[in-house]
Amino acid sequence: MIRRLFPRSPSKPGAFTTVRATILLIGFVPSLVLVIAITTVAGVRIERAVDDREWATEIVAAIPAVVAITDATFHERDLTLRRIAGEAVDYSELVGYRGQLDAAGVDLTKTMAALSEMAPVQVDPLIAQYGAAVVELGASRQRVDAGKEALLDAYGLYSRLAQLGAKVIEMMAHQAPTVPTVVATLESNELYCAVDDMTLAHSLAATLVVNGALPPEIMREFVRRVGGYRTALEQSSTGPAANDLAKLTSSASWRTLSSIEDTLLGIGVKPVRSSMSAAGDGNANLPVGVNEDAWAAALVQVQKDLSGIWSQYFRTIQLSAQSEADAALRSALLTGLAALVAAVITLVVAVRIARRVSGRLKRLRHETLALTDEQLPAIIGRIRQAQVVVDTDIALPTLEFGTDEIGQVADAFNRAQQGAVTAAVVEAKTRSAVNAVFVNIANRSQQMMHRQLEILDEAELRQRDPAMLDLLFKLDHLATTERRNAENLIILGGARPGRRWNNPVPLVDVVRSAISETHDYVRVYPAQMPEVQVEGEVVADVIHMLAELIDNATSFSPLECRVEVSGILVGRGVAIEIVDQGVGIPSEELERLNTELSKTFDFSVLELSSDSRLGLVVVAALAARNEITVKLAESDFGGTRAIVLIPLHLLTVPGQQTADSEMSAAR
């Protein structure tokens, strides 16, 4: 099966025949992404497990404070309500429980502050409520000691404190890591409420000892509390604390307390003096069968046992939650480690495959760029230089990359470069033919212009009429301009004009000849020129270049403005400046024109339009052919300055030439 999916290349062992097969292997990368996702999930689980463990640890650390504050609250409430009802209670015992409640509250506040950092939304409101309750409790204690606190007011305050404890346990349940822990914590909350209801019910019933009857509102609350805690214990009798509750409900203390509760529920709000014990045992305000000492002993024992069942169950739940958090942390760490190992293995496989494919692609890129940037331009350059006889099969190297998709891409490039070279050959032949046509037509036109100029010269010599002579001069000037246009075609066609000079010509004569060939020569003012001569072989090209530049200057400047031509001898040769007073050229266009003037002329990239400055194209061709530098710049008058630098090797200085001749003669 693996051989079918990933067949081996017969020509190159270890290479895969298709990119598709390679991509199938690289398809393991999505698996790597999946592993990374699993690792991320494991990381989240680890973070959650760490948070759950810290939470469970803080809860376990808070258990002593929770149990202590619960026990102190219940005892202080019982003694406080009895004291308000008028019963003689041990004040030192009450103060002791107050101190226990305050100390446990401080410890619990510290734990709640630690829990607040992990779950501020759930914990901060409870901390605020507890702080308000502590302030209210301090004021209530002062009123109790002064004998000014109402029974129902104190009852309401301690009820809110007990309810706040239930809210804390409920909050712990909502933050528990697992569903079983949530359920168990809520069950422990039911036991907590049962202890609260039982102790509060008997604290209310204690008013019977003093008053001999239960007021209606207290009797209703007593009935509700007794029914509430009995119902809660019945529901918890099938849970994890069932055995402990069964032992409690079968004890003598429980039976005594239940019997007293039934008796109190039976008398309702009626006075009990008529049914006082004749023997005089017990308080005179208690119903028959209710002994105050037995009641107190049974209540203390049942409250102790029930509180112990609740605290032990609560502690067991939180320790179990801590163990579950440790197990979840270990599981998340193992999952993350397994995902990391899988990711490393997948990454190693993917990297090896990717390296193999990328190596071939890099080699293809390198060889393709070598062909594109070096070999192919050289071949096309030779073709464009009229070397049209090129054996493309030998001159063009081919890319060999097998028969797979990468090899097919290489073959496509081979075909593309073959087509490019073929097109270049066709283009070179076409351009050569067009150039030949241009040159042929231009030569014929130039011959006719030469003949016409000869006839005009002969007519000028015979003519004596000034008006007719002026007309002949104008025709002579037009014919000279037409000859220059014909020479433009010859130059663009790659040939040289027919005019030749064998000997050097003074620069001033060259400049004057160029001015005479321009259309508006009367506006051109030549300045003094250096006493140098231009080599005869380049005289025609220099005259043509200067004529085109002067013609442009006169064409693109106002008719009333003059064009100045000046020359100066510099270190590298002679610089001729042609300055007009026209509108100038924008800087971007000026930069583009200078770039074109510095390039070797290529007719294949010439773009002709109705506004094309063909003269500058001719100037660029002549400058490149003779190594002359031409540059355009902004003039002092806002127009354009054309600077033509004729190098030294194209010049002859008369004094230097004489000195050279004398040295040769001396030798």
Helix, strand, coil percentages (3-state) for the chain, rounded to 5, are 75, 5, 20
Rounded (5°) CA angle 107-170-122: 70
In whole angstroms, give the CA distance from residue 444 to residue 591: 37
Residue 80 has what pLDDT? 85
Cβ neighbours of 414 (radius 10 Å): 17
Residue 582 confidence (pLDDT): 84
CB neighbour list of residue 133: distance below 8 Å, 6 or more residues apart: 157, 160, 161, 164
Q: pLDDT per residue over 95-151, tens digit each?
A: 888 888 888 888 878 877 877 777 777 778 877 887 888 888 888 888 888 888 888
What CA–CA distance (Å, rounded) separates 297 from 499? 143
**Separation CA 315–CA 56 (nearest Å):** 11
Residues 6+ positions from 408 with CB-CB distance below 8 Å: none
178: number of CA atoms within 13 Å, CB side?
Answer: 17
Query: Would you say 389 and 379 are in contact if contact means Cβ atoms under 8 Å apart?
Result: no
pLDDT of residue 324: 77
Looking at residue 603, what is its pLDDT?
53
Amino acid identity, position 167: K
CA-CA-CA-CA torsion for 65, 66, 68, 72, nearest 10 degrees?
130
The verdict on pTM exceeding 0.75 is no
Q: What is the pLDDT of residue 575?
A: 93
Spatial separation of the C-alpha atoms in residues 400 and 321, rounded to whole Å: 68
- What average pLDDT does the chain have? 75
What are 607's two structure tokens?
A: 């773009």
- Give the tokens for residue 482: 């037409």
Helices within 119-178 (DSSP H only): 120-145, 151-174
Using alpha carbons, list the distances in angstroms from residue 228 to 31, 206, 225, 242: 58, 19, 5, 18
**Chain centroid to CA 332: how far?**
30
What element of type H or E holds 283? Answer: none
Tokens of 574: 């002679």
Q: What is the pLDDT of residue 477?
A: 66
- In 493-598, alpha helices (H): 507-516, 536-555, 587-597
Residue written as token pair 């380049």: 538
| Nearest-angstrom CA–CA distance, 393 and 371 | 14
- Vertex 296, ends 293 and 299: CA angle to 5°? 145
pLDDT attached to residue 4: 45
Residues 357, 22 contacting (CB under 8 angstroms): yes
Task: State which H helix or E strand residue 230 sits in.
Answer: helix 216-236
Question: At 196, is the secondary structure helix, strand, or coil?
Answer: helix
Q: What pLDDT score does 209 carry?
A: 61
Query: Within the chain, which residues score under 50 in pLDDT?
Result: 1-16, 269, 272-282, 387-388, 604-605, 608-612, 658-667
The residue count of the chain comes to 667
**Quick one: which H or E segment has residue 287?**
none
pLDDT digits (tens, 9 = 90+) for 143-181: 888 888 888 888 888 888 877 777 777 777 777 767 777
Q: Structure tokens of 453?
A: 């100029």
